[in-house]
Structure formats: C-alpha cells, structure tokens
Copies of this chain bind each other. A is one copy, B any other.
C-alpha cells in the first residue's frame, strides 16, 4: 500500500543536468561524485535500505509511536534494529567529518540520499539528522577536548545528539530563552531550565544522548546576545564506558498530528537541585552565532523534507490512481476504469508531480551551491555561491515546506474516502510534513529574513544576479518553439518578482510594516519563479537529450519531464501575478486599524 519507489532516474537527471555536479565533483572529498558509477551505487544502496528497512517501519511508527514512561522514552518497535543497520552501513555519517570517522561527502550527494531516507521514514530520520547537525555545531564551536571525546562516538552513531533551543516563552524568538547556566569551580557549568519540542530528547536507541543546549550565563546581556551553547550529556563522561546519570530528565512527550515515531520531548535540566553538568561550546554569549552558521543547513534540510514527503505522497497517489477502479472513462467505456484516466485525477497528479520536481531541482541546486560556497578554492567563487545560498535558503525552506503541505493534501484527495482512513497511509505524508512550515523558523520568519537580510540589505544585488540567470534560461527557452509557452510564463513571472522588489525598495523606508505584510506573498512568488527557472532548464536539457543518441534517460522520462514543465507553466507560474498584486496592494488592508477588532 505504502510503496515508496525512489525516483533514481530523476535523481540522476537533476544531479547531472541541473545541479553543478561537475563543478562540485572537483572539490576535495567529492571524488564520489566524480565517479558516476560510485554515485549510482550509493543511490542504489540507499534505496535498497530505504525500501527494505525504513519504509516498512514508516506506518508502524505512525501507528505505534514513541512512548514515555518515568524511566525514559521507548521508540517504535523495530526502530532499534533499523538504527543498528543504518549505522552499520555508515548511512548516518555520509556528510560527517572524515577526521572523526565520517565520510565527508558533499552535500549534493548526501542531500539526494537524505531525500530517499526521509521519503521512506521521516520520523526515523530525525534522530540521525539531529546528530548530524550537532556534529557540525561541535566542529564549528567546540574545543579539542570536547571534540575528541564526543565526535568519534557521535559520528559512529553509538551516541545520538539533540538540539535544545525552544522554551515555552521562546519559540521564534530564541533570544527570549531563560535556561540558566552557572559556572562551577572546575570550569564546567550547572544548567537549570526547561526546554520543549526537543526531538529525540530521550530514546532507547543509543547508550548516551548528547544534548546541545542554549542557555544564559548569569549576568549575560539580554536577548540573543547573551545566549551560550552547552554540551549536556545524559550520562557524564568517565574513564571507561559510561558515567553517572546527569541531572536531565524527559518530563513528557507531545501527542502530535504526525511524526509519531519521533518523540518530541519536554526536557528538564537541573530539577534535582544541583544542576545538570554542562560544558561550554565556544565562547560565552556566542551560542547563537554557532547556531546561525548551521541555520542554512538546517533550513535546507527542512526544505528537502518537503521534497521527500511530496515525492512519497505522489508515489502513493499514483499507485492508488492506477489501481482504484471507479466510474467510466469520459470517452465512454463499459467497465469501470482506473481513476488515473479521469482528467481531474490526472490534473491533481500532475500538480503534485510538477511541483515536486521543481522543489527537488531547487533543493539539489542549492545543495551544490552549499558545497561550492564551502569548499571552492577561489574565495570569489565561494562568495558568489554563498550569496546565492543566503538568498535562496529562506525561499526554498518557505516555499518547499508550504508547497509540500498542498501536495501531500492532494494525495489525500486523490485517495477519496480511503484518504481519510488512517490505515491507508494516505494522510501520513500530510500529517508528517505539517510541521515543516513551522520548525526551523516559520514561513513568516523565512520571509522576513528574505526581505530584510537578503533583499533590502544589499539593495537587491544578489536577487538581481539570480534573476539574470533566470533571464538567460528564459531567453534560451524562448528560442525553442516547443518551449515558447513556458518561456513566456516564466518571463511574466520574473517581471513580477522585479516589480515587487522595486516596490520594496521604495516602500521600505516610509512604510516598513507594509513591506513585512507583503513578505510571505513575495517569498512564494520567488519560490514559484525559482521552480519555474529550473523546470525550464530541465525542459531544455530534456529536449537536448531527446535529440541525443547517447542519452542514458528513457524517452518516457524525458517526455514526461517536458510535460511536467508545460504543466508548471500553465498551472503554477501564472499564480505569480496574484502574489505580486497581494504583495503590492494587499498590505493596507492587513494593517488597517479596524482589521481585527471584532
């Protein structure tokens, strides 16, 4: 029922034709990408694990989620064994540093692999995903002693890690946190406070759990400038295997709409009185800086969750539509036909598919850009990619997560009454992805970041550089008769982005609130254009490969890609007109003093 067919042909195509594969492959540690066969075999092996081990546990996790007792959290039956196989295969450490046992793969490849795993079982992937993030935070901020002790065990997967930011009064505004850290005589700290929404804050998968905790040292400045980062392990370090229990407890887990296999914990530090023992990572009051450096990656990963769950939902809906017999075909048939033959079901499937492909394309392109921004030998080139990444991350995170909600909901609709029944599995992608537009910064937060830090701060320079790339693609497509409609839709959509950006440039001084009220419509507009840009590039590549004699893609794949691009041009790109109007003319009503009085 829940078959998850990993789109390998699509992954290969996007890697090669859209993402900067050749350029990324020249980076240090990127040999795996240079070797097409190796890339292929990694993707194939990942798919095998995903289909064989993770996928069968996805519905189990939904039905039989993590459970809390006073002794601790137990995960879904089967997760333990899957985790063992996952780390034995080294899948947890694809993008972890080689000096601690990781594989140091480029993001471009690990992102493709991650999509496969998350599509098969998002809840399971939260645990290794957070450990991956914590490893990168420690690499950035921790001293050698902390690194030497924690990194080998985290990289091996023997231990897992968590990220502790949110508190009841400190969600989007992390700087409002109140957890305290009191310096102790031995150079460690004692941590007191409560954190909420901590994924895998407790579990029985690993022998130890390493909590990265944001807290405030006594006397620190208010707000985000007074936040420090600490390592607080569940079991304290000790010669030999495992030390004493630290003063950190999981006080409960949330009952959620989805992600049942991933325990969302309330963590209490220092309840026993003495405080939880913590070690400072980096300098005092610089905790958020370390977190911010990781933020691009974290937000990128949430965008990829949107891609993965959209793909999963699409595959489920496609399979169902091919099997479910109901109604006669419009052209007249004696027997019931599979519903995939009904025009509106096709429309829904293509709307899922074309948007998922557009999102994936942007995800991979961004992954390659993250690699190049990080590792290219030429600092000018690094900066160029960094500018692109900084601009595009909030767009990708916001647009892909919001679009994924729409795409996964369409799958429920295609399933009809069965979509509403939990056992069919049709609603799980929607329920699992509904948190994506919220965590790691809501869509509103992404949009404010986009406007204030990415568009207005540099006077639109990086936005314009990207739009010039879009123009080039648009010109190229306009030269091909078969892609004229696509080019024309894309041209109008790009013009909308420019129009709104110009309006921002004028409006933000006199009416800054108007600009912020327009931020999300602009983000969606930019996301749709980014997707359209890459669908146009994909269509250009597919056209070329259809004429080539040595294309490795099948004809049906390439023609399908052209159809997706045309569908996107007719159904998705035109939405940009309304978003531009909403952005430029919609703020007055939003901010009207009478707006929300009743």
A residues at B contact (CB < 8 Å): 9-10, 166, 169, 171-173, 176, 196-197, 254-258, 264, 318, 325-328, 330-331, 336, 340, 342-350, 353, 405, 409, 412-413, 416-417, 419-423, 427, 431, 434-435, 437-439, 442-444, 447-448, 485, 512-514, 516-517, 519-521, 554, 556-557, 559-560, 562-564, 566-567, 570-571, 574-578, 581-582, 585-592, 594-598
Contacts and interface: CB of A to CB of B under 8 A. Distances in A.
Contact of A592 (B423, B442, B519, B563): B563
A486 to B, nearest CB: 10
B423 A437 contact: no
A318 B564 CA distance: 39
A438 B420 contact: yes
A557 B421 CA distance: 41
A346 B578 contact: no
B517 A560 contact: no
Contacts of A353: 596
A254 B347 CA distance: 29
B587 A416 contact: no
Contacts of A258: 420
Contacts of A340: 596
Contacts of A416: 171-172, 438, 442
A405 B557 CA distance: 33
The 8 A-B pairs at the shortest CB distance, nearest first, are namely A344-B444, A343-B517, A559-B594, A570-B586, A574-B578, A567-B589, A566-B589, A343-B516
A439 to B, nearest CB: 7
B594 A556 contact: yes
A344 B448 contact: yes
A347 B438 contact: no
B447 A590 contact: no
A328 B172 CA distance: 11
Contacts of A443: 344, 413
A513 B343 contact: yes
Given A173-B336, A420-B434, A560-B597, A444 B345 contact: yes
B257 A596 contact: no
A567 B590 contact: yes
Given A420-B257, A447-B344, A590-B567, A595 B442 contact: no
Contacts of A595: 346, 350, 560, 563, 567
A597 B562 CA distance: 12
A574 B581 contact: yes
Contacts of A171: 326, 416-417
A598 B9 contact: yes
B344 A519 contact: yes
A421 B485 CA distance: 44
7 contacts: A257-B427, A342-B516, A348-B444, A412-B438, A417-B438, A560-B596, A571-B578
Nearest to A421: B254
Contacts of A576: 578
Most chain B CB inside 10 Å of its own CB: which residue of A328, A448, A567: A567
Contacts of A336: 169, 173, 176
Given A347-B517, A416-B442, A420-B434, 18 more contacts: A254-B422, A255-B422, A343-B516, A344-B448, A344-B516, A345-B444, A346-B595, A353-B596, A405-B409, A417-B435, A557-B598, A560-B596, A560-B597, A562-B594, A563-B594, A566-B592, A567-B590, A574-B577
Q: Taking each of A173, A345, A349, A590, which has the highest tally of chain B beta carbons within 10 Å of its own beta carbon?
A: A590
Contacts of A345: 444
Contacts of A591: 343, 346
A420 B442 contact: no
A228 to B, nearest CB: 21
Contacts of A327: 172-173
A571 B577 contact: no
A35 B502 CA distance: 56
Contacts of A556: 594, 597-598
Contacts of A326: 169, 171-173, 176
